[in-house]
Amino acid sequence: MEATQKHMIQEGSSMFYHQPSSVKQMDLSVQTFDSYCTLESSSGTKSHPCLNNINNSSSTTSFSSNESPISQANNNNLSRFNNHSPDDNNNSPLSGSSATNNNETELSLMLKDLETAMMEPDLDNSFNHQGGFGQQHRVVSTAMYRSMEMISRGDLKGVLYECAKAVENYDLEMTDWLISQLQQMVSVSGEPVQRLGAYMLEGLVARLASSGSSIYKALRCKDPTGPELLTYMHILYEACPYFKFGYESANGAIAEAVKNESFVHIIDFQISQGGQWVSLIRALGARPGGPPKVRITGIDDPRSSFARQGGLELVGQRLGKLAEMCGVPFEFHGAALCCTEVEIEKLGVRNGEALAVNFPLVLHHMPDESVTVENHRDRLLRLVKRLSPNVVTLVEQEANTNTAPFLPRFVETMNHYLAVFESIDVKLARDHKERINVEQHCLAREVVNLIACEGVEREERHEPLGKWRSRFHMAGFKPYPLSSYVNATIKGLLESYSEKYTLEERDGALYLGWKNQPLITSCAWR
């Protein structure tokens, strides 16, 4: 989500602005993984592109003599997945019916077979002389029986969880079978849970197939063009209030903190397109008594130049023209570097300036003490505290994925992103020609990274606000409560979206949620 939040300049806006290193019996080459895991699609595609292309790359896949967990036999089942349409109630697993009558009969027969096998009185004793194999057989049968019941009633979330559990337990036979079943249940053009399920399944396949670095190489190999990516980002920006919520709350806190200052320096740790500052520059230009002199230091990962189609100087030029129109003395300094590389001397802080620091959906990318001894997450906060800022704004996703083990992280990812996918449906119709591209290029990579990667390769490391509070307190900060004006402004913003969005103020922070599930939090510190 955070890849989107700052790639648009809204000049017309009125708002304030591991995976296992190897899997036994499996040799899936990086070349093969690159060839099918590209996140490509067209608006008319019904299947998931990564899985769809597995069929077309089997000739380059190397298997051991004992066959891969993602077996060639199961790859053939993808044709059924590719033909699945979520608009066909007879085929939708979420409608409570199976994909075909034959499939329903097959499930019924398999369930009966399993019931018979599990009721055999001597099952546990039949292989005890071989190290308790009978007990293992009973456990596997129970898991398969439970999974088949979930499949028969269309419980996609349950089947995804069972597959994740099989992956974690190195149960290759169960994983292989569940992947083949899930391929028939997910669809990038279906219900929200089907669409998210397609990307979660891709993450599970990627977790089995390759190391984290190779996964990211595969995920990045078919990027859209810069203008296309900006279009997708803008569509998502307009479809959901999450990013506008972050902009308005942060800008409101900054405007309040510098309302009597003549020289204002804003350090933005993820400037991207600079869109957040359009409304703030306009507001400062209309300030009673005249505008202050504004200087913005924009930090951004060098990879973002792809979307901008140029360096940070483009951002400075756009904001400079706007500031001139608003009568605001303006200066811009671009710093194309990763946040882990930031040092005080690179920030250009001057005496006599009121300093505001902005962390917009970026700190969760910083590795902490669980990843590296450098602990850049806390190091950055201590560095900023040494600057004695007037205000520091933090906007983050309300999720707990940083140090969570794989299975709890899988569940947290499913619950968090399912709410996001559901909210997208309010503004983007199912037949919207760009919706698939928006979800793939703006959200799917986060999902895949959370599921497929471990260690330094996992960039998505969210923490709940309670944990962020602890980190800010340890760095020496105190809370800076958001004003009632900011709250009222955001409430007005939400009225233009859906009544299912919720806004809660708690302990000086704001929580934006979907159906009472908090998704984004905003707070300020000093």
pLDDT-derived band at 401 (thresholds 50, 70, 90) equals very high
State the CB neighbour count (10 A cutoff) for residue 55. 17
pLDDT computed for residue 87 by the predictor: 41
Burial 135-147 (b: 16+ CB within 10 A, else e): eebeeebebbbeb
The least confident of 227-236, 282-291, 474-483 is: 227-236
Structure tokens given for 141: 């049968």
CB atoms within 10 A of CB 382: 13
Q: Give Cβ neighbours of residue 203 (< 8 Å, ≥ 6 apart).
A: 447, 448, 449, 450, 451, 452
In the chain, what percentage of residues exceed pLDDT 90? 57
Position 13 pLDDT exceeds 50: no
Q: Which residue has the higher pLDDT, 52 or 370?
A: 370
What is residue 86's predicted lDDT score, i.e. its pLDDT?
40
Model pLDDT, residue 364: 97
Higher pLDDT, 213 or 383: 383
Between 212 and 316, the higher pLDDT residue:
316
pLDDT digits (tens, 9 = 90+) for 18-44: 333 333 333 333 333 333 343 443 333
Q: Say whether pLDDT at 198 is over 90.
A: yes
Q: What is the reported pLDDT for 25?
A: 36
Mean pLDDT of 96-102: 43
**What is the structure's pLDDT at 102?**
55
Mean pLDDT, range 39-57, rounded to an integer:
38
pLDDT for the residue 112:
59
**255 token code pair:** 């405007």
The confidence band for 107, taking pLDDT boundaries of 50, 70 and 90, is: low
Sign of the four-CA dihedral 210, 211, 213, 219: positive
pLDDT grade for 111, boundaries at 50, 70 and 90: low
Nearest C-alpha neighbor of 417 from the set 393, 390, 386, 448: 448
> In the predicted model, what is the mean pLDDT of residues 427-449?
91
Min mean pLDDT across 94-108, 253-267, 365-379 is at: 94-108
The pLDDT, as a whole number, for residue 98 is 37
Q: Please state, in angstroms and rounded to a whole number, the distance separating the CA atoms of residues 223 and 227.
A: 11
Gyration radius (Cα) of the chain, Å = 25
Whether the per-residue pLDDT at 310 is higher than 80: the answer is no
Question: In this model, does residue 127 exceed pLDDT 70?
Answer: no
pLDDT digits (tens, 9 = 90+) for 149-191: 999 999 999 999 999 999 999 999 999 999 999 999 999 999 9
**Predicted TM-score of the model (pTM):** 0.77
Banded model confidence at residue 336, pLDDT cuts 50, 70, 90 = confident
Place 338 in a pLDDT band, splitting at 50, 70 and 90. Answer: confident
Is residue 110 scored above 90 in pLDDT? no
pLDDT of residue 32: 33
pLDDT of residue 393: 98
Q: Quick one: pLDDT band at residue 219, thresholds 50, 70, 90?
A: low
Given this model, what pLDDT does residue 38 score?
37
Cα dihedral 186, 189, 192, 196 sign: positive
- What is the average pLDDT score of the chain? 78
Report the alpha-carbon distance of residue 110 to residue 116 in Å, rounded.
10
Res 432: pLDDT: 86
- Over 50: is that where the pLDDT of 357 sits? yes
Nearby residues of 372 by Cβ (< 8 Å), 6 or more positions away: 456
Q: Which of residues 121 and 372 earns the better pLDDT score?
A: 372
- pLDDT score, position 511: 97
Lowest-confidence segment of 29-33, 116-120, 324-328, 414-418 by average pLDDT: 29-33
Mean pLDDT, range 473-495, rounded to an integer: 91
pLDDT of residue 495: 87
- More confident site: 488 or 294: 294
pLDDT at 60 over 50: no
From CA 340, how far away is CA 380, in angstroms rounded? Answer: 8
Give the confidence band of 410 by pLDDT, cuts at 50, 70, 90.
Answer: very high
365-387: pLDDT as tens digits:
999 999 999 999 999 999 999 99
Band (215; pLDDT cuts 50, 70, 90): low
CA distance 388 to 391: 9
> Which whole number is the average pLDDT over 120-145?
52
pLDDT level of residue 144 (50, 70, 90 thresholds): confident
Q: Is 93 in contact with 104 (CB distance < 8 Å)? A: no
> Residue 522 above 70 pLDDT?
yes
Buried/exposed 263-279: b ≥16 CB within 10 Å, e otherwise: bbbbbbbbbbbbbbbbb
